[in-house]
Amino acid sequence: MDSQTAERTAQSPQVTEPRNPGMALDLDWVAGVQANTSAIERRAASLPGRRSVKKDYQAAWLLKAITLIDLTTLSGDDTAGRVRRLCAKARQPVRADLLDALGVDGITTGAVCVYHDMIAPAVQALQGSGIPVAAVSTGFPAGLSPFHLRLAEIEESVKAGAQEIDIVISRRHVLTQNWQALYDEMKAFRAACGEAHVKAILATGELGTLRNVARASLICMMAGADFIKTSTGKESTNATLPVSLVMIRAIRDYYDRTGYRIGYKPAGGISKAKDSLVYLSLIKEELGTRWLMPDLFRFGASSLLGDIERQLEHHVTGAYSAGYRHPMA
């Protein structure tokens, strides 16, 4: 892809896919899913060195990455003022002078992700922008609150204006291989979301094996997930390339069998611009260009945007700037 094509892609309006309706639980398919850990790790290790983009091409791909960020604040000390400032950053994620120098306008992040209590100020601050508000739910991050309260939390967040709900699955269902329980749970979460799209957080760092990750990914898609997501960002191990490869290939298999495209969201630990380029190349190679759109791919990140903006300033001026010149809020 040349730099002009990449820039056009970065500014393309969001395309909508037919929503995944889910399917009946197919335990034979689940049982047949395996993961060759050594092969997966070799493929993942080769990625950073196999694809490299420079100069205008790199700037174009970094602009694309910005449009795929779920700009996130999930801290106990979040305030309405902080969320409003973060939403202002989502509306204009890169300084105007840099965008002018790059000949680009209309860039926004993919979404803003917050806790339930911060939905109202986020919705108000993003009004008219077209940027959706995503809310974490279902007892995030552990997912251990009573089931009826997890369902109620989803319903309250949708009522408050969240257009996307990031739910957490019960890890114990995966660790005990109770696939029916995981399927039923995910179905209930999807139903509670209504028209809001649901991202299923697998908390892959707590699932034990890559085979568990592959099977949990498939179960969640069968139950109607619109996205599958690696992590809450609160685990000791978050998004990694081996886990991403497993989940992406599960998405590809589901699409090949059902015709429905499921989105992917790596979250946690992706803070450098060069890392975002590796993930974008992985998506393009494994799933194709169609998945490089906000309705099918997101980065769950907060600090990533700051490093991308610094790299874009270096591209324009030839010098790296201090981080304080690119505040998040």
Active site residue 229: yes
Catalytic pick from 166, 226, 275, 307?
A: 166
Both tokens assigned to 220: 């969640």
**Cα–Cα distance for residue pair 287/302, rounded to 1 Å:** 25
Beta-carbon contacts of 132 under 8 Å, excluding residues fewer than 6 positions away, are: 110, 111, 112, 126, 163, 164
CB 70 within 8 A of CB 299: yes
Catalytic pick from 199, 229, 275, 307?
A: 229
| H or E segment and range at residue 113 | strand 111-114
Catalytic pick from 64, 226, 265, 307?
A: 265
One-character DSSP codes across 147-193:
HHHHHHHHHHHHHHT-SEEEEE--HHHHHTT-HHHHHHHHHHHHHHH
**Cα–Cα distance for residue pair 235/196, rounded to 1 Å:** 26
Sign of the C-alpha dihedral computed for residues 139, 140, 142 and 143 taken in this order: positive
Active site residue 265: yes
Active site residue 199: no
- Phi and psi at 69, nearest 5°, equal -90, 130
Q: Which residues are catalytic?
A: 166, 229, 265
